[in-house]
Amino acid sequence: MVGIRLLYYACFFVGFFYALISSALSYFFGGGHDVHHGDVGHGGGDHGDAAISVLSPTIVAAFISGFGGTGILVTSLTTWSVLPGAVTSIAGGLFLAFSAFFLLGLLYSRTQGGSEYQTSELAGLPAEIITAIPENGYGEIAYNTKGTRTNAPACSLDGQPIARHTPVVIVRIVGTTHYVRKIE
């Protein structure tokens, strides 16, 4: 029984410390890694729906912590054998994982709800060349809209080359290509 209790403690602390460390890293270095974003603004009206994966590290850590925590409670408060305790611990882990999945999904849907945009809204938006555009060729721009920084393929409206870090304005979008001109 000591071995199974040690397993429960190990699971609880591994899951707990993983969540703590990943939250700290997310806070200091940027986050949102558990979210899958759709293509935003391309194809005439796609909306960037955010959805958290059931197998995301955060949800897996919640299951491991819930399994360990429930196991600790079961072994401390009951005299059950290993099998009923393990089944109860799995149920506790699943409950915590699905609770985290639901709450994070709710949180992400609320925080991502206002970031959708359509390509028609981008005309006139300033951008910066991040990959130089050669004569009659393609490069890449970066722009901010509704709190989201986006990179996109771009070409010069007049076919002239545009150097990296040059400020431009988006004139029109055809497919996924953003036609730009230098800001004078």
Please tell me the distance from the alpha carbon of residue 14 to that of residue 145, in angstroms, as a whole number.
39
In terms of pTM, does the model score above 0.95? no
Of 55, 78, 112, which marks where a domain is finished? 112
Please indicate, yes or no, whether residues 149 and 98 belong to a single structural domain of this protein: no
pLDDT at 118: 67
pLDDT of residue 44: 38
**Same domain membership, residue 66 and residue 21:** yes
Range of the domain at 42: 2-112
Kindly report the CATH number assigned to the domain that includes residue 133.
2.40.50.140
Tokens standing for residue 3: 């071995």
Tokens representing 128?
């910066």
Judgement on whether residues 62 and 150 belong to the same structural domain of the protein: no
Which of 50, 83, 112 is at the close of a domain?
112
Q: Which pLDDT tens digit goes with each residue over 9-57?
A: 999 999 989 888 877 776 677 554 444 443 333 333 333 444 677 888 8
What pLDDT, on the 0 to 100 scale, is given for residue 112? 53
DSSP class of residue 120 equals G
Q: Which residues of the chain have pLDDT under 50?
A: 32-50, 115
Rounded Cα distance, 12 and 86, in Å: 14
